[in-house]
Amino acid sequence: MDLRDSEEQAAFRKEVASFISDEAPKAKKGVSGVAALAGSWEASQGWFQKLADKGWIAPAWPEEYGGAGLSVMKQFVLSEEMALRSAPRPGHLVIGLGMGGPTIISHGTEEQKREFLPSIIRDRDIWCQGFSEPESGSDLASIKTRAVRDGDDWVINGQKIWTSFAHQAVWMIMIARTDPDAPKHKGMSYFVVDMKSPGITVRPITDMGNGQLFNEVFFDNVRVPARNMVGEENRGWYVATTTLDHERSAIGSTTGLKQQVEAMIVFAQEHIEDHTSSLGKNPMLRYELADRMIETEMARMLSYRVISMQNRGEVPNHEASMLKLYSSELQQRIAATYLHLLGLYGLLGSGSPLAPANGRHGSAYVSAVSATIAGGTSEIQRGIIATRGLGLPKN
């Protein structure tokens, strides 16, 4: 693993930095992502269009599908610079861009690529992921949602849960059981489903942070064209693992974790004399902040390991699980440290005149609970690391 940029990578890094400086909307101080756009939806759309014009909204995708066809290392440089400079990212497209699209590129037919991929970039369609079910979360292969062939269609009945963006999504990537008699890893298939199809009901779930990102989705005799099956019939598990590998190997998030800790340190320094920071009263918090900063560097090294493997043409498996496990648990520790720093003021919610940052950190603490569940629980990740990384027996 070489931590230095090559001449080509250094030149590309300079190009990206200059583009962001010249073209990106100016962010609010201390805020990143779409929220940084001062509430301007038009500004965000203009910025995303500029990224799309360069192929940078989906930099890994082939150029013929609207991407830039960048090398693995250039993708990393772009992602890192975007995160370092708090450039707005199309977070609402994360499932289509980072999971559904790459899976179709890997396993889809040419017809599927032509039909689905351009709309993610051109129309910025929102996608959702229909994997988890009420009794099939961590044990994903035990899904019960059924798909039965009827002429040129598959008819789907069942339920999905914890489906992010389902209330806004145009398309869903999902797995359903197509052979109930086959071993559970072999009797499922992978579909792309039009969320406007008759028989689909979406019911939002209000989470602990009073947000409504998650949803329940019910399928009542939903007809899906047979051409929308991705990969081979009854081999959807292997297609789904491609989706999960992309979900667990995100690179830019580790830079974001470091920025959170840096922002926390600045806040502690600026408020050391007032009631919103416990740093003056509790010097041990200095050690806690130092631990968090060291841990973000560890997360960055794990992400570098993943990207280095991809650059060599290897497919990270347990290595991606290590990154996902460590980063999601670190996200929870960072959120807890923020509350330690704020003391009781960290418990105040949005709308309270005394809540620092309008209660954002208290909401982040509650939201972080799901970090070790989404994308595969910590227990699942440890199982993958143990069996595939350390060679330990499954039973």
CATH of the domain at 68: 1.10.540.10
pLDDT at 166: 95
Classify residue 164: in a domain, yes or no.
yes
Residues of the chain with pLDDT below 50 are 29-39, 248-249, 251
Query: Quick one: pLDDT at residue 284?
Result: 84
Quote the pLDDT of residue 353: 85
Q: Which of 263, 268, 366, 253 is nearest to 320 (CA)?
A: 253
Is residue 363 a contact partner of residue 348, using CB atoms and an 8 Å limit? no
| 202 found inside a domain | yes
Say which amino acid occupies 329: E
Residue 30: per-residue pLDDT: 46
**pLDDT, position 212:** 80
- The answer to whether residues 281 and 194 belong to one domain is no
- Domain end call among 173, 204, 233: 233
Cα separations in angstroms, 280 against 122, 261, 269, 348, 354: 51, 18, 9, 20, 19
pTM greater than 0.85 (yes/no): no
d(CA 212, CA 203): 10
For 326, phi then psi, to 5°, come to -65, -45
Note whether 177 and 254 are within 8 A (CB). Answer: no
Contact (Cβ atoms closer than 8 angstroms) between residue 188 and residue 231: no
- Could you say which of 81, 247, 295, 319 is catalytic? 247
pLDDT tens across 181-227, in order? 998 889 999 999 999 999 999 999 988 777 788 999 999 999 999 99
Residue 32 is predicted with a pLDDT of 43
Distance CA 296, CA 331 (A): 9
Residue 138 in any domain: the answer is yes
Per DSSP, 96 falls in state I
The set of residues, in sequence order, having a beta carbon less than 8 Å from that of 43 and lying 6+ positions away, is 25, 37
Q: What is the rounded distance in angstroms from the CA atom of residue 219 to the CA atom of residue 240?
A: 20
205 and 277 in a common domain: no
Same domain, 173 and 77: no
- pLDDT score, position 40: 52
* 240 falls within a domain: no
Q: Which residues of 189-219 are buried (b: 16+ CB within 10 A; e: fewer)?
A: bbbbbbbeeeebebeeeebebeeebbbbbbb
Six token digits for residue 113: 């690529």
Helix, coil or strand: residue 274: coil
Q: Is 42 a known active-site residue?
A: no
pLDDT at 208: 79
Same domain as 149, residue 84: no
| 277-324 tens-digit pLDDT | 666 677 788 899 999 999 999 998 998 888 888 888 887 889 989 999
Going by C-alpha positions, the residue among 332, 379, 388, 386 that lies closest to residue 140 is 379
Domains: count for the chain = 3
Q: Is residue 242 a part of any domain in this protein? A: no
Residue 244's DSSP bridge partners are none
- In total, the chain counts a number of residues equal to 395
Q: How far apart are CA 15 and CA 28, in angstroms?
A: 23
Out of 89, 114, 146, pick the residue that ends a domain: 89
Predicted confidence at residue 27, as pLDDT, reads 55
Helix (H) or strand (E) holding 202: strand 200-205
Q: Give SS3 for 21.
A: helix
Phi, psi of 150 (to 5 degrees): -140, 95
In this predicted structure, what is the pLDDT of residue 43? 64
Which structural domain range is residue 304 located in?
249-389
